[in-house]
Amino acid sequence: MKYLLFIVPLTFVLLFSACNNDDEAGAGKADLELSFEPITTKPEIGQVVTFQIKALNRGPLAADGVIVENTVPAGYSQADNISDGGVLVGGSTVIRWNNISLQPNETATLSFTAIAGEPVDPTLFTHRAQVIASNLFDPDSTPNNLEGNPKEDDEADITLLPRAGRVSLNFKAFYGPDPLVMFDRTYAYEDNIALKLQLFQFYLSKVRLLTADSGVPLFDVALISFGDVYTDEAAGQGKSTPSFILPPGTYTGIELGFGLSSDLNATIPPDYPLGHPLSENYWEAASSYIFFKFEGNADLEPNGEFSDKLTFHVGGNDNYRLLSFDKPITVEDEKELTLQFNIDLQKILVDQNTGEYLDFRQVMQSHSNSSPSATFMANHVPEAIELE
């Protein structure tokens, strides 16, 4: 774990502020000021950062019994290496330095370290320090009255977000060269068969961006469904995962699971809250989630009636496919990147090399994880997905 210590001249400051009310302190008075040493370089996610608070007595008399507190925000964790006898109070969220003595014009440096977390919410990365007690009256500030941004010179704050970008995946579905649209669109299949689609969906799991020797996890699971795609415009927009936080850098590619990894497939919907991708699509009889669904109607005669119902639900650990795409991917700090994928349902149903296809005159339904049709479709998934 790397440590960062920043004690540098102020060239630029990341949302740094301290109030400075330089009223002249009179006899019997102190004038206490707090400030954070400015930090000019953003840390990495997971990096240990050293923070320094400067406590200055501008008054003519020594100040005793000074107590300083710093509130550690939720974006930072594991406050440690606290200097000058400081202690954690209130759990791990407040650091307190007791009984500080400051001679006139003397500065005390108080320091601690904390680990920068993922910047899910930028408002959770502001450290706030204040003087909460002193034995002398301060003419321009009142101890222990911190509210919002610093308003007095015995208060200070610093907001320091780690370097991070956001990455999402977008999938556009096709049948051959044509966008995949539900219900009203007719697609020519093999052997004079025509199809109309009603549902196409699949799980993604264990998605990570690859590095030269390893990878960085992006997300555990997402459900991509095209069941509500009714127009070419909607098909052109595709379906996106949420965006996820990732350290900036250039990655060598991306790895994703089509379906669910065995550890996720060993869970059940009651393990998750409503609305979670794994709170549905479970096949209790097979002790498995349904990794992907393809539903629609076929015109087998053909007579234009599309009266033959097609239902193919595929799950089971043997039908999980781990896919890797080798392509440089650059994630930039404070920017969002969308990785564009295309998936071709025709390539799942028809082998592009041999011409072998799923014959709907022989099989129109599959609810078996080990059926030939389930295996056929799972085996052709790698050919059906491309990263632009």
Which has the closest alpha carbon to 174: 239, 256, 253? 239
> Which pLDDT value is given to residue 203?
99
The DSSP bridge pattern shows strands 87-89 and 16-18 to be unpaired
- 157-212 pLDDT, tens digit per residue, is 999 999 999 999 999 999 999 999 999 999 999 999 999 999 999 999 999 999 99
**Residue 67 structure tokens:** 């107590």
pLDDT at 146: 64
Render pLDDT for 237-271 as a digit per residue (tens, 0 to 9).
999 999 999 999 999 999 999 999 999 999 999 99
CATH topology of domain 3-159: Immunoglobulin-like (2.60.40)
pLDDT digits (tens, 9 = 90+) for 80-126: 999 999 999 978 889 999 999 999 999 999 999 999 999 988 889 99
Say which residues have a Cβ less than 8 Å from residue 24's Cβ, sequence separation at least 6.
none
What residues does each domain of the chain span? 3-159, 165-387
Examine the pLDDT at 42 and tell me if it is beyond 60: yes
State how beta strands 365-366 and 308-315 pair. parallel
Instruction: Let me know if 67 is exposed, middle or buried by CB neighbors in 10 A (0-12, 13-18, 19+).
Output: middle
